[in-house]
Amino acid sequence: MTTSQNDRLAAAIEAAQNQPPRRFVITGGPSAGKDDVIAELIRHGIPCMETEPGREIYRKHRQRLGRHLRTEDRREYAAEVLEAFIAEFEGHKHGFRFYNRGIPDSYGWERFFGLAPTIQLEKANRVYRYDTVFVLDPLDTFEDPDDIVWAKEREIRRVHELIVQGYYDAGYEPTFVPAESAEYRLDYILTNVRIPKPQR
């Protein structure tokens, strides 16, 4: 049973390689459990973007500046992140692929800092369209004292809502993924895009 179900998933991945590209975004605020879902995708050999390009670019900018990014630095950072997302998008030619955040996350980023979306972002959003957007509902960690150490839950929630709003602004109708285990969420996502679920 396990083998046949996983065979079906492998067959679906292979068959999709001869078909036009389908792109699915997985997004959400910090503490939404995104990395766990991405890890599940990787574990089952489902094509996906492993790391969010923003992380490395952010590290590079901080290193170059020798300090925290200020308002005047954030445009340059955002432009570079946008370029990376576009390259990822264009690089994918066949089959389905999951993305660790997408171009419209930049709307949330800009709003986060009180900036208006750039012309480049607006243009990229019109040209590069994803097939489905999955928003991971925040994991309820309100009672988790660990969370309070690095950021208040209130601000985590604000960031999350701004990211969701960004996708609406970009003209998407996101699918909300309930706050459950990574396995459940992966199954939920795959069912939504009609890809066979892995058997565990």
Partner 1 sequence: MPHEPPNLDDEFLRSSLASLLRKGLPVATGKADPSLLSLRAVLVRAVDPADTASRVAALNAVLRTLLLRFDDARYAEAVRALFGLSPGKAGTTLTQRREAAAKACGHDVDHFRKRVEPRLVERLAWMLWQDSEQFRAVPAAAPRLTLAPKNMPTLPADVFAWELAEHETQLSRVWASLYALRAELLTLDRMAAMGADRQEVIRQAVTSAWRYGVLRADVDDYLDAYPSGGFGALADASPDDLVALAGWTPSLGTDAVDKLTHAGRTHRDRDGFVIAMRAEVALGNAWAAPWLDRRITTDKDTTA
- Positions touching partner 1 (CB under 8 A) are 29-31, 34-35, 52, 54-55, 58, 68-71, 109, 111-114, 116-117, 137, 142, 145-152, 154-159, 161-165, 168-169, 173, 176
Cα(34)–Cα(37) distance, integer angstroms: 5
What is the DSSP track for 145-168?
A: HHHHHHS-HHHHHHHHHHHHHHHH
Nearer to partner 1, 12 or 39 (CB): 39
What is the DSSP track for 129-141?
A: --SEEEEEPPP--
Nearer to partner 1, 52 or 88 (CB): 52
Nearer to partner 1, 9 or 32 (CB): 32
Q: How far is the CB of 48 from partner 1 (least distance, A)?
A: 16
Cα(160)–Cα(154) distance, integer angstroms: 10
Q: How far is the CB of 106 from partner 1 (least distance, A)?
A: 11
Q: How far is the CB of 16 from partner 1 (least distance, A)?
A: 26
Nearer to partner 1, 126 or 176 (CB): 176
Q: Three-state SS for 177?
A: strand
Nearer to partner 1, 19 or 168 (CB): 168
What is the DSSP track for 28-90?
A: --TTS-HHHHHHHHHHTT--B--S-HHHHHHHHHHHHHTS---HHHHHHHHHHHHHHHHHHHH
Q: How far is the CB of 3 from partner 1 (least distance, A)?
A: 34
Nearer to partner 1, 93 or 194 (CB): 194
Cα(155)–Cα(30) distance, integer angstroms: 10
**Are 154 and 148 in contact, with CB atoms under 8 Å apart?**
no
Q: How far is the CB of 76 from partner 1 (least distance, A)?
A: 14
Q: How far is the CB of 23 from partner 1 (least distance, A)?
A: 21
